[in-house]
Amino acid sequence: PPPFTGVWMGDSKLCAIGVHCGNHITSHGLALNCCTDLTWFDHIIPCGLEGKGVTSLSHELGQHVTVSHVLEPFLDSFQEVFDCTLVSSEDPG
C-alpha cells in the first residue's frame, strides 16, 4: 500500500525492496521471505513501520517453501518483467 515499498499481504510485508545511495555508490537489494523464522521480528519494528508485520511464502501458503523452490521461477519472471538477461557469477566466461 502506498507509500510503502515491497510486496504486501494485507498489513504484512512479504518482500522488501530497497535502494541505498552514498559515497558515490548506489546499491539495491531484494529480500523475499520464503521460510523465514518470523519469531525474530517480534523483537523489532520491521522496516521501522509501526503497526505493520512480516510474513513468508511458507506462512501464507501453509506449506514449507524454500528458496530453491522459488529461485528459478522468480529469476525467469524478473528477466521477463525487466526485459533483461541475468548472468550468474558461477557461469564460466
Burial class (CB in 10 A: 0-12, 13-18, 19+), 52: middle
CB-based contact 46:14 (threshold 8 Å): no
Distance CA 33, CA 64 (A): 12
Of the residues 15, 21, 34, 47, which is catalytic?
47
Distance CA 9, CA 38 (A): 14
For residue 15, indicate whether it is catalytic.
Answer: no
Instruction: Provide the annotated active-site residues.
Output: 47
